[in-house]
């Protein structure tokens, strides 16, 4: 199974500042034939289901604010929030979908400093 490891486990950032969350996979999730990274990011607020933010490592889902961006390739990926807003307080998860079992990172809790 591919193990997804996020860092840090928790993060406190001031409003308007940049937040960066990292995700590392135990093996590459880059499908060379399509040159696509099978990596997604989700946001989960308390008492709510997860919400898809990013797929193919860097493609923003429709309706997601452009302050959210994804980058990386192979085994190392990053979710960046360019200017933190109060409504961004949540737990963020990465997920690979390269092969079953599809697995998630352990989550990164993002708070306001």
Partner 1 sequence: EVQLVESGGGLVQPGGSLRLSCAASGFTFSSYAMSWVRQAPGKGLEWVSAISGRSGDNTYYADSVKGRFTISRDNSKNTLYLQMDSLRAEDTAVYFCAKDRGNGGGSVFDVWGRGSLVTVSS
Residues 109 and 91 sit within 8 Å (Cβ to Cβ) = yes
Residues 39 and 64 sit within 8 Å (Cβ to Cβ) = no
Decide whether 17 or 111 has the Cβ nearer to partner 1. Answer: 111
Query: Hey, is 87 helix, strand or coil?
Result: helix
Q: What is the spatial distance between Cα 72 and Cα 57, in angstroms, rounded to a whole number?
A: 7
Residue 101 within binding range of partner 1, rule CB under 8 A: yes
Residues 46 and 66 sit within 8 Å (Cβ to Cβ) = no
Residue 60 within binding range of partner 1, rule CB under 8 A: no
* Binding characters for partner 1, 76-95, by CB under 8 A (x = yes): -----------------x-x
Cβ of residue 106: shortest distance to partner 1, in angstroms? Answer: 5
Question: How many other CB atoms are there within 10 angstroms of residue 35's CB atom?
Answer: 8
Residue 55 within binding range of partner 1, rule CB under 8 A: yes
Cβ of residue 70: shortest distance to partner 1, in angstroms? Answer: 12
Decide whether 51 or 67 has the Cβ nearer to partner 1. Answer: 51
Q: What is the spatial distance between Cα 13 and Cα 19, in angstroms, rounded to a whole number?
A: 6
Contacting residues toward partner 1, per CB under 8 A: 1, 31, 34, 36, 38, 40, 42, 44, 48-52, 55-56, 61, 93, 95-107
């Amino acid at each position: 199974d591919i193990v997804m490891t996020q860092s840090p486990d928790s993060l406190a950032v001031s409003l308007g500042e940049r937040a960066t969350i990292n995700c590392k996979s135990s093996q590459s999730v880059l499908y060379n034939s399509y040159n696509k990274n099978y990596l997604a990011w989700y946001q989960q607020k308390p008492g709510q289901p997860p919400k898809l933010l990013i797929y193919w490592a860097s493609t923003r889902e429709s309706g997601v604010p452009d302050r959210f961006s994804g980058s990386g390739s192979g085994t190392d990926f990053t979710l960046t929030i360019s200017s933190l807003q109060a409504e961004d307080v949540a737990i963020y998860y990465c997920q690979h979908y390269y092969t079953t079992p599809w697995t998630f990172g352990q989550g990164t809790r993002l708070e306001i400093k």
